[in-house]
Structure 1
Amino acid sequence: MSSAPEHEIIALTTPDDAPDAAIATAPAPVARRSVATDVALIATFAAFIAVCAIVPAIPTGTPVPITLQTFGVVLAGLVLGWKRGALAVLLYLAVGLAGLPVFAEGTGGVAVLSKPSVGYLLAFPFAAALAGYLAGYALRLPTAWRYVGLFLSGLVASILTIHVGGIVGLHLTLGLSYSEAFVFDLKYWPGDIAKNLLAAGVALAVFRAYPDLLRTRR
């Protein structure tokens, strides 16, 4: 995965898109990968995911409420790239498992590993990594299609990792069959689609405000 396309400078050539045109015409800077910058970005997004998690959850009448965690997880991958995005989520999980109340509903500690939501939680780093990897291709699309590409990157990553992990976790903790767990999981899909639509829009806004992030995604 080290050859992921997020390493490349993305050609942005649409004439009516001023921020993108500015990036396309600007000379490419010398690549400077500062460890301090990487650490700062990883820590910032880990903290952002924690904030998303402790925002009051939307009750669903089930043991797994809808929270903004997945929004923060996918956004980390889209903006930072597969490697730093996954590291940001791993840092978030490490802090939470160490006991800080940064998980949904203000919980923390290893006790969360026995909850029905454990499969969703443990799948987060894989979701950020896959979203970041796919976004590297999405960001090579024409400007008009870039939003759709980022949305699909996040949604596909969510389905293949978070939802699959969640279904396995529900099967193991609640004793549901896989078909029952799948039906149980379906109630989270509308919220997930909305969160991925939002993540794609926020990611594009971040790239327009900080175009250097396009050149340093990894």
Structure 2
Amino acid sequence: MERNLAYVALFAALIAVLGLIPKITLMSGVPITAQSLGIMLCGTVLGARRGALAVLLFLGLVALGLPLLAGGRGGIGVFFTPSVGYLIGWPIAAYATGWITERFGAGKPLALTAGIASVIGGIVVLYVPGIIGMAAMLDKTLPQASLLALPFIPGDLVKAVLAGLVTAALARARPGAVLSRS
């Protein structure tokens, strides 16, 4: 139990640290950040349930006002910006990424499984609420908001590959630390 709590807190902190990397804000008002890599790693390393809990802890701290999002943003107001769909989608994406890693990772190369899980959960699943949130907050149609999301895809694909490689490296170095495999 304590180990699970420690991992959840550690990965919430990892997401916060990845927010220190400077953001790049696009015309949509949604920034490109390294924090989505943390979301993917929550799922691939911690698994579905613990990964989603780590993200929920992080979002709870943001809602309380801690400036943990890229660019030092925090507070309840961030949930009323074009990023809201992505923020809501983060725990769903971590859960989906972890679920895929848990179900399909046994006996397969972890880097490949975690990378594919990150693409499906951390990009495909995440973009659904992300695009809906952008459409709602920017008063755009879903196709218009989808076009605004296109610039994020190349960077997110790189993050998915990194998540797969980091997860596999962690499994080699400390097999017991990759909870999605246990």
CA distances 1:114-145 after superposition (whole Å, capped 9, x unpaired): 100110011000110010010113421433xx
Partner of 1:194: 158
Question: Would you say how many aligned residue pairs link Structure 1 and Structure 2?
Answer: 182
RMSD, aligned CA: 1.6
Alignment of 1:128-167 (within 5 A): 128-143=94-109, 146-167=110-131
Contact (CA 8 Å) 2:22, 2:71: kept in 1 or not? yes
Moved over 2 A (4+): 58-62, 158-161, 213-218
CA distances 1:145-198 after superposition (whole Å, capped 9, x unpaired): x32221110110123321111110011100000000011111100010000100
Which amino acid in 1 is paired with 2:66?
A: L
Contact (CA 8 Å) 1:124, 1:161: kept in 2 or not? no
Larger gyration radius, structure 1 or structure 2: 1
**Are 1:173 and 2:119 matched, yes or no?**
no
CA-CA distance at 1:217 after TM superposition: 5.1
Partner of 2:51: 85
Q: Which runs of 5+ in 1 are unaligned?
A: 1-34
In structure 1, distance between residues paired with 2:78 and 2:30:
12
Partner of 2:63: 97
Contact (CA 8 Å) 1:141, 1:149: kept in 2 or not? no
Alignment of 1:36-115 (within 5 A): 36-115=2-81
Residues 155, 84 of structure 1: alpha-carbon distance in 2 compared, 3 angstrom cutoff: same
CA-CA distance at 1:73 after TM superposition: 0.6
**Are 1:123 and 2:89 matched, yes or no?**
yes
Q: TM-score when scaled to structure 1? A: 0.79
Contact (CA 8 Å) 1:76, 1:88: kept in 2 or not? yes
Contact (CA 8 Å) 2:48, 2:180: kept in 1 or not? no
In structure 2, distance between residues paired with 1:207 and 1:100:
32
In structure 2, distance between residues paired with 1:103 and 1:142:
34
SS of 1:91's equivalent in the other structure is helix
**Are 1:185 and 2:131 matched, yes or no?**
no
Q: Which runs of 5+ in 2 are unaligned?
A: none
Which amino acid in 1 is paired with 2:100?
A: L
Residues 150, 138 of structure 1: alpha-carbon distance in 2 compared, 3 angstrom cutoff: farther
SS of 2:24's equivalent in the other structure is coil
In structure 1, distance between residues paired with 2:101 and 2:112:
10
In structure 1, distance between residues paired with 2:156 and 2:108:
25
Partner of 1:206: 170
Contact (CA 8 Å) 2:84, 2:133: kept in 1 or not? yes
In structure 2, distance between residues paired with 1:212 and 1:127:
23
SS of 1:102's equivalent in the other structure is coil
Indicate the percent of aligned positions where both proteins have the same amino acid.
37
